[in-house]
Amino acid sequence: MFLLTVIPSSREHFLIPFALPGLLASVLIFIGGIQFKSINSTFWSRFGLYAGLFPGTPAWILTAPICLWCLSVIKQPSIQRAFRSQRRSGYAILADILEQNPGLKSSTAQRKAVEKKTRRTR
């Protein structure tokens, strides 16, 4: 009896394609929100905010004004500086790790970036 209530009838299968864009937008909003909160990636933050403007679910009425407000916040110079400083601190951590472990393998681009950064700081 329980299985009959869980398995959708053949009439409800046509709704699945309409639910997928909303589900995808929800996942992108979640990823963008996490990236925005932790100040990690401007790309994913903006991508999640733009996904919130997509009218894929009825919750769009709530997400659209919040996303517009967040887009105005992310364009502020102080927020942009915070994203840039977070990115720079990541490179500084990588430079420290490579200095402490010279035998550690890394890509050529990373090693050149670290060498350039350490030359500027000396």
d(CA 21, CA 13): 15
Q: What pLDDT was estimated at residue 1? A: 45
Res. 3: pLDDT tops 50:
no
What does the block give as tokens for 98? 């490579």
Kindly report, residue by residue over 47-96, the tens digit of the pLDDT: 999 988 888 778 888 889 999 999 999 998 888 888 887 776 666 666 66
- HSE-CB at 43 with a 13 A cutoff on CA atoms is 1
The reported pLDDT for the residue numbered 56 is 76
CA dist., res. 23 & res. 71, Å (int): 22
pLDDT tens-digit series, residues 14-33: 666 777 888 888 888 899 98
Question: How much is the average pLDDT of 111-119?
Answer: 65
To 10 degrees, the CA torsion angle through 57, 58, 61, 65?
-30
Read off the pTM: 0.58
